[in-house]
């Protein structure tokens, strides 16, 4: 079962630039203060593992509203494709975490659980 899911995720990732679905991209969070961490989700609203990330992103955005900015880019859209290239996305979903200076400090590919993201964020905020 794990191998089948992994193969599906890899297939979706390989297909990321081959497909060009025209879909509305969700709006970014618009926090007015400078976040300590920016959590960038690069995926698609039509990708199954990416859809599973939507509630995770919402919970992170709620739970860390003062310190974490959550941004989503649908890399299967014309507008979002540039972010897939900018962040060198090989498969989706991909999560990129930036510190307050905009420097990438962590990257993950595939579904990333809320618990694991919270551990990552909490550890980074301790430093």
Predicted pLDDT at 32: 58
Q: What is the pLDDT of residue 127?
A: 77
Question: What's the whole-model pTM score?
Answer: 0.75
Helical ranges in the chain per DSSP H: 2-15, 48-63, 81-86, 114-126
Give the strands of the sheet with 37-43, arranged side by side: 68-74, 37-43, 94-99, 104-109
- Consecutive 10-residue averages of pLDDT for the chain (127 residues): 47 40 40 84 96 97 96 97 96 97 97 98 93
pLDDT at 1: 56
């Amino acid at each position: 079962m794990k191998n089948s899911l992994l193969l599906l995720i890899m297939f979706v990732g390989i297909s990321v630039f081959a497909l060009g679905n025209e879909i509305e991209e969700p709006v970014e969070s618009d926090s007015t203060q400078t976040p300590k961490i920016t959590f960038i989700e690069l995926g698609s609203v039509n990708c199954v593992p990416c859809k599973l990330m939507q509630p995770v992103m919402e919970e992170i955005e709620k739970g860390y509203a003062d310190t974490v900015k959550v941004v989503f880019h649908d890399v299967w859209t014309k507008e979002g494709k540039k972010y897939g290239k900018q962040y060198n996305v090989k498969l989706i979903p991909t999560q990129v975490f930036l510190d307050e200076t905009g420097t990438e400090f962590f990257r993950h590919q595939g579904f990333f659980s809320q618990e694991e993201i919270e551990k990552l964020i909490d550890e980074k905020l301790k430093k």
